[in-house]
């Protein structure tokens, strides 16, 4: 048996996974336990490489080996290899031994699993181009998984954990995100309690909810008839409207800010929630109308014709036939508009001066000063994020279906 | 030979069609009005303002303000006092014409009116002052005798504020025009670098979001346990409020003590000292004897933009990929195409339509983006784009006219992009 491309790949893949997982488990260990570590990356790469090669050999020796047993064989070897080095994370094993051992097992398990997933079904020696590309793609997909998960999770993790810390401990060790349960419930949620009691976050939350819900209601009230007219009724300019309505969405908000600021100042609408309730729907109606008309078009018009034949008026048809049929689309549009209104920053920032009127976006910005500790800022960010994320996760399938429906052809 | 007996389609619109037309217009009118008022109107107004010498302070229209009091403070009934109004024009620039004051005098105060500008009707005092010059101020003094009922009632003159009416010119509605705003922004040294930064930001931010989205869609295209969870997770950056994620990045990338990411890098031995990701304009580095300036802060905001918007492109690309029929791939498989060949020759051409649409939309939206850079760097350290410049000029420097002029440039550049896209865009799908 000759030493071939698959063997080389197995060694390289093992080395990369060993390194990647060592860095990640090292950092996670650091964040969770507060222990200062500097992982032995070289050793991890070496062990991973050996592990990759051994996995390949074990797999070829036993014809019916499953992925799991292969990975298990790896795991034992890998733990053994690292334990020999004594200090796998570059810190004395005596400190936080339990954490270190768990991290070690996790590292070995993840490395073994990744190698197993990449190399499953491969035999030592050389392989054809097809098989080699498949191997490469599996490997890259695995890396991409890790990469995307980290870049998405890390900022949110830092945001959440910072809000539980105190200024001193943050400055002392910015890598220590271990939660100190010794300070009790009150100590842990001190920032949140202060935001709600001293920084008016209760009223910010109510204002934001009020503005967002009203924006959704107003937008739907305007967009449903408009979308129906564009989708179903024949009138001069229909084709032009259905094409060009989205162009409104291309107008930059920053161009509108100066005139609206000037005019609303004169009319006394600037420093008021009414002002926001005029501007927000105006920016969301075009996109809502566009999404809805795409959906209305897809409904079978025979149903509506039947309703018309049976004596319903147009408005009756819309209320009794079209609306019930398009509930999923309405839900997705409502959710999308809600998200836009909840997250809107520019107009809230420019328009609102009074503390009682602040929305969350405006309120969190006001926390961004050197006088307010940063855990308060992050607690504010968490308060602004949690409701919209919760609602999003609740209705996710509607949103995903609705957002992409208009633009994708089968 | 023409046969008139063959029925022709009617030339005019029938009653039903007319009714349908009217109904359609009725249903569209609310949308039309609000879009006209809040989007198209301001768009035109912005052009108007860009030609006017208007400062932020000019928005507060000229007003007449008054302080009223009794001198000396009355102690006993029958005392002679003076009711004094100190009146001024709040504006430093604009006179106010036809100023009329109306006030209700507290009961028990016997005025002996000696001013022909004023008239008294019961308890209500009306005075006509004519024109008050810009920043003009004067006092109106009316002698009065205090009665016991005044002292008993406890109602004082200032409890009831005097109401003023008057006309003043508004700089926004006058017909005074200037080209100074445009002259100012085009002659400033910054302008061209701002334009260049905008283009870099737009192009690389768009490409970054698209490429990340394409990769994310690739890894989620195969079915596996927990895929829906991961898909929801990948959408987080797009769904979370921009203030929350922007400040999370700012704290994460902080170069001072307490910056987590820098601490991580230093702990891993990747860098010597902390990198100021958001505050440093350039990082010089040397390759083969050539020294390059790496635009650090700009790269970071581009990375943020890509990070925040990859979910959107990922979602659309994934939806498109899942609608591609598997027959083609099976055929390619039989013909011996390798996975990369299948991606290059089958998937990519199928995705080209959605990719170009996404590119167009994201390009325009990225160009329009204001919040992200404003919150991350405030436009400092070589990250000032045109949109941030609008804010800087109009509200930081308080020159509304110049801000509007930059906004006109934003709109003009956008129009140019739109023309280019329509010229070269594929006509098939979208």
pLDDT at A409 over 50: no
pLDDT at B141 over 50: yes
ipTM: 0.89
Given this model, what pLDDT does residue A68 score? Answer: 60
| Check whether domain A196-405 has CATH 3.40.50.300, yes or no | no
Count CB-CB contacts under 10 A for residue B150: 23
Given this model, what pLDDT does residue A77 score? Answer: 64
pLDDT at B333 over 60: yes
Across the interface, whether the CB atoms of A234 and B375 are under 8 A apart is answered no
A130: which chain B residues are within 8 Å (Cβ-Cβ)?
336, 338-339
Across the interface, whether the CB atoms of A393 and B391 are under 8 A apart is answered no
| Check whether domain B182-424 has CATH 1.10.3720.10, yes or no | yes
Is the four-CA dihedral A233, A234, A239, A244 of positive or negative sign? negative
pLDDT at A100 over 90: no
Distance from C-alpha of B262 to C-alpha of A174, rounded to nearest angstrom: 9
Across the interface, whether the CB atoms of A23 and B268 are under 8 A apart is answered yes
Quote the minimal CA–CA distance from A351 to chain B in Å: 12
Q: What percent of chain A has pLDDT over 70?
A: 87
Mean pLDDT, range A279-291, rounded to an integer? 90
Which DSSP string corresponds to A140-183? Answer: HHHHHHHHHHHHHHHHHHHHHHHTTS-HHHHHH-TT-----GGG
Quote the minimal CA–CA distance from A75 to chain B in Å: 23
Going by C-alpha positions, the residue among A382, A388, A152, A403 that lies closest to residue B234 is A152
Start-end of CATH 1.10.3720.10 domains in chain B: 182-424
Which of B54, B216, B244 minimises the CB distance to A385? B244
Is the four-CA dihedral B254, B255, B259, B261 of positive or negative sign? positive
A268: which chain B residues are within 8 Å (Cβ-Cβ)?
none
Instruction: Give the orientation angle of helix A374-394 with respect to helix A327-343, to 10 degrees.
Output: 170
The verdict on B418 touching A (C-beta cutoff 8 Å) is yes
| Structure confidence by residue, pLDDT tens digits, A370-391 | 788 888 899 999 999 999 999 9
The number of C-beta contacts closer than 8 angstroms across A and B is 287
Regarding beta strands B80-89 and B137-146, do their DSSP bridges make them parallel or antiparallel, or are they unpaired? Answer: antiparallel
Cα angle: A106, vertex A109, A112; to 5 degrees: 145
Structure-token match 């094409």, residue found? A243
| Structure confidence by residue, pLDDT tens digits, B283-332 | 877 777 777 778 888 999 999 999 999 998 998 898 888 888 888 888 98
Q: How many residues does chain A have?
A: 410
Given this model, what pLDDT does residue A79 score? Answer: 66
Going by C-alpha positions, the residue among A381, A398, A245 that lies closest to residue A336 is A398
Going by C-alpha positions, the residue among A344, A95, A111, A304 that lies closest to residue A212 is A344
B114 CB contacts (<8 Å, ≥6 apart)? Answer: B142, B143
* Annotated domain spans of chain A: 5-160, 196-405
Distance from C-alpha of B369 to C-alpha of B358, rounded to nearest angstrom: 16
Given this model, what pLDDT does residue A216 score? Answer: 95
Mean pLDDT, range B238-256, rounded to an integer? 90
Distance from C-alpha of A126 to C-alpha of A132, rounded to nearest angstrom: 9
Going by C-alpha positions, the residue among A2, A86, A9, A87 that lies closest to residue A48 is A9
Name the token pair of B14.
Answer: 């029938």
Probe site for chain A from B208, B241, B392 (most A CB atoms < 10 A):
B241
Q: What is the DSSP letter of A54?
A: H
Q: Which residue has the higher pLDDT, B1 or B390?
A: B390
* Residue B376 burial class via C-beta count within 10 angstroms: exposed 0-12, middle 13-18, buried 19 and up: buried
Contact A184, A363 (CB under 8 A): no
Q: Which residue of B has its CA nearest to A386?
A: B240
pLDDT at B430 over 50: no
Given this model, what pLDDT does residue B201 score? Answer: 94
B316: which chain A residues are within 8 Å (Cβ-Cβ)?
403-404, 407-408
Which of B239, B319, B408 minimises the CB distance to A408? B319
Between positions 16 and 75 of A, the ones with CB within 8 A of B are 23, 26-27, 30, 36-39
pLDDT at A307 over 70: yes
Given this model, what pLDDT does residue A410 score? Answer: 32
Mean pLDDT, range A354-367, rounded to an integer? 89
Name the token pair of B94.
Answer: 């604009």
Going by C-alpha positions, the residue among B32, B46, B162, B27 that lies closest to residue B101 is B162
Given this model, what pLDDT does residue A72 score? Answer: 63
Distance from C-alpha of B312 to C-alpha of B209, rounded to nearest angstrom: 8
Quote the minimal CA–CA distance from B142 to chain A in Å: 34
A308 CB contacts (<8 Å, ≥6 apart)? Answer: A314, A317
Q: How confident is the model at residue A408 (pLDDT cuts 50, 70, 90)?
A: very low
The verdict on A236 touching B (C-beta cutoff 8 Å) is yes
Fold of B63-168: Immunoglobulin-like (2.60.40)
| Structure confidence by residue, pLDDT tens digits, A200-250 | 889 999 999 999 999 999 999 999 999 999 988 888 888 888 777 878 888
pLDDT at A143 over 70: yes
Given this model, what pLDDT does residue A30 score? Answer: 82
Structure-token match 């008839």, residue found? A225
| Structure confidence by residue, pLDDT tens digits, B168-212 | 776 667 777 778 888 888 888 888 889 999 999 999 999 999 999
Highest mean pLDDT among B86-90, B127-131, B400-404: B400-404
Given this model, what pLDDT does residue A210 score? Answer: 95
Across the interface, whether the CB atoms of A262 and B170 are under 8 A apart is answered no
Q: Which residue of B has its CA nearest to A404?
A: B316
The verdict on A386 touching B (C-beta cutoff 8 Å) is no
Quote the minimal CA–CA distance from B253 to chain A in Å: 10
Can you tell me whether residue A14 is helix, strand or coil?
A: helix
Given this model, what pLDDT does residue B144 score? Answer: 82
Distance from C-alpha of A335 to C-alpha of A400, rounded to nearest angstrom: 11
pLDDT at B214 over 90: yes
Distance from C-alpha of A39 to C-alpha of A23, rounded to nearest angstrom: 7
Between positions 238 and 267 of B, the ones with CB within 8 A of A are 239-245, 247-249, 251-252, 257-260, 262-264, 267
Structure-token match 């100066």, residue found? A258
Residue environment code for B307-335, b if the CB has 16+ CB neighbours within 10 A, otherwise e? bbbbbbbbbbbbbbbeeeeeeeeeebeee
Across the interface, whether the CB atoms of B258 and A377 are under 8 A apart is answered no
Contact B180, B51 (CB under 8 A): no
- Write out the H or E segment, with its range, that includes residue A380: helix A374-394
Contact B314, A404 (CB under 8 A): no
Given this model, what pLDDT does residue A26 score? Answer: 85
Given this model, what pLDDT does residue B428 score? Answer: 47
B390: which chain A residues are within 8 Å (Cβ-Cβ)?
254-255, 257-258
Contacts by B340-348, CB closer than 8 A, 24 or more apart:
B340/A133, B340/A136, B340/A137, B347/B321
Q: How many residues does chain B have?
A: 430
Across the interface, whether the CB atoms of B410 and A144 are under 8 A apart is answered no
B257: which chain A residues are within 8 Å (Cβ-Cβ)?
171, 174
The verdict on B354 touching A (C-beta cutoff 8 Å) is yes
| Structure confidence by residue, pLDDT tens digits, A106-131 | 888 888 888 888 887 787 777 788 88
A234: which chain B residues are within 8 Å (Cβ-Cβ)?
17, 20-21, 24
Probe site for chain B from A236, A258, A373, A407 (most B CB atoms < 10 A):
A258
SS (H, E, C) B148-163: HHHHHHCCCHHHCCCE
Distance from C-alpha of B407 to C-alpha of B198, rounded to nearest angstrom: 13
């Amino acid at each position: 048996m000759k030493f071939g491309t698959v063997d080389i790949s197995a060694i390289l893949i093992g080395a990369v996974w060993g390194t990647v997982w060592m860095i990640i488990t090292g950092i996670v260990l650091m964040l969770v336990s507060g222990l200062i570590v500097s992982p032995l990356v070289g050793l991890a790469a070496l062990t991973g490489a050996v592990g990759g090669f051994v996995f390949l050999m074990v797999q070829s020796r036993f014809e019916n080996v499953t992925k799991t047993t292969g990975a298990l064989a790896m795991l034992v070897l890998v733990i053994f290899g690292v334990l020999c080095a004594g200090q796998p994370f570059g810190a004395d094993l005596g400190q936080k031994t339990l954490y270190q051992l768990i991290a070690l097992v996790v590292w070995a398990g993840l490395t073994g699993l990744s190698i197993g997933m990449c190399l499953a079904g491969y035999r030592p020696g050389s392989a054809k181009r097809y098989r080699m590309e498949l191997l490469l793609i599996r490997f890259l997909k695995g890396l991409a998984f890790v990469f995307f998960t980290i870049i998405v999770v890390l900022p949110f993790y830092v945001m959440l954990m910072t809000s539980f810390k105190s200024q001193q401990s943050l400055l002392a060790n910015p890598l220590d995100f271990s939660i100190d349960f010794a300070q009790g419930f009150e100590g842990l949620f001190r920032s949140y309690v202060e935001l709600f009691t001293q920084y008016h976050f209760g009223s910010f939350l109510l204002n934001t909810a009020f503005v967002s819900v009203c924006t959704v209601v107003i937008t739907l009230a305007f967009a449903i008839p408009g979308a129906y007219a564009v989708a179903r009724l024949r009138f001069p300019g229909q084709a032009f409207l259905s094409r060009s309505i989205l162009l409104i969405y291309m107008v930059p908000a920053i161009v509108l800010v100066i005139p609206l600021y000037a005019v609303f100042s004169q009319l006394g609408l600037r420093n008021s929630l009414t002002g926001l309730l005029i501007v927000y729907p105006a920016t969301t109606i075009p996109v809502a109308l566009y999404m809805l008309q795409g959906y209305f078009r897809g409904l079978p018009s025979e149903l509506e014709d039947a309703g018309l034949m049976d004596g319903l008026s147009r408005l009756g048809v819309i209320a009794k036939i079209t609306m019930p049929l398009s509930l999923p689309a309405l839900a997705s549009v409502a959710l999308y508009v809600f998200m836009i209104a909840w997250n809107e920053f520019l107009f809230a920032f420019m328009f609102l001066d009074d503390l009682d009127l602040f929305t969350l976006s405006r309120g969190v910005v006001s926390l961004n000063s050197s006088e307010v500790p940063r855990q308060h800022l992050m607690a504010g960010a968490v308060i602004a994020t949690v409701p919209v994320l919760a609602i999003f996760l609740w209705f996710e399938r509607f949103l995903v279906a609705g957002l992409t429906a208009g633009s994708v052809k089968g | 030979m023409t046969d008139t007996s063959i029925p022709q389609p009617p030339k005019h619109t029938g009653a039903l069609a007319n009714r349908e037309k009217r109904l359609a217009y009725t249903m569209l009118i609310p949308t039309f009005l609000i879009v006209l008022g809040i989007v198209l109107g301001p768009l035109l107004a912005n052009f108007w303002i860009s030609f006017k010498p208007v400062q932020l302070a000019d928005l507060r229209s000229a007003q007449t303000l008054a302080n009223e009091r009794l001198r000396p403070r009355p102690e006993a009934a029958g005392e002679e006092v003076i009711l004094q109004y100190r009146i001024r024009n709040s504006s430093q620039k604009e006179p106010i014409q036809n100023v009329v004051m109306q006030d209700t005098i507290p009961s028990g105060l016997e005025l002996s009116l000696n001013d022909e500008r004023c008239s008294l009707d019961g308890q209500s005092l009306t005075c006509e002052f004519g024109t008050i010059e810009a920043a003009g101020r004067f006092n109106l003094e009316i002698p009065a005798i205090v009665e016991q009922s005044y002292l008993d009632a406890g109602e004082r003159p200032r409890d009831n504020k005097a109401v003023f009416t008057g006309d003043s010119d508004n700089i926004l509605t006058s017909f005074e025009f200037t080209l100074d705003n445009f002259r100012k922004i085009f002659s400033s040294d910054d302008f061209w670098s701002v334009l260049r930064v905008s283009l870099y930001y737009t192009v690389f931010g768009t490409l970054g979001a698209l490429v990340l989205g394409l990769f994310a869609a690739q890894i989620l295209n195969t079915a596996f346990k927990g895929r829906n969870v991961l898909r929801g997770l990948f959408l987080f950056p797009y769904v979370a409020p921009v203030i929350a994620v922007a400040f999370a990045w700012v704290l994460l990338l902080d170069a001072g003590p307490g910056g987590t990411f820098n601490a991580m890098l230093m702990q891993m031995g990747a860098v010597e000292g902390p990198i100021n990701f958001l505050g440093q304009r350039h990082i010089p580095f040397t390759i083969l004897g050539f020294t390059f300036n790496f635009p650090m802060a700009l790269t970071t905001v581009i990375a943020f933009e890509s990070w925040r918007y990859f979910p959107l492109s990922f979602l659309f690309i994934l939806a498109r990929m899942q609608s591609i029929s598997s027959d083609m791939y099976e055929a390619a498989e039989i013909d011996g195409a390798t996975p990369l060949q299948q991606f290059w020759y089958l998937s990519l051409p199928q995705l080209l339509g959605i990719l170009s649409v996404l590119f167009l939309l994201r390009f325009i939206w990225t160009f329009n983006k204001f919040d992200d850079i404003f919150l991350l760097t405030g436009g400092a350290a070589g990250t000032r784009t045109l949109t941030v410049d609008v804010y800087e000029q109009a509200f930081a420097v308080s020159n509304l006219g110049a801000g509007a002029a930059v906004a006109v440039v934003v709109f003009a550049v956008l129009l140019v992009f739109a023309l280019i896209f329509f010229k070269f865009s594929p006509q098939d799908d979208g």
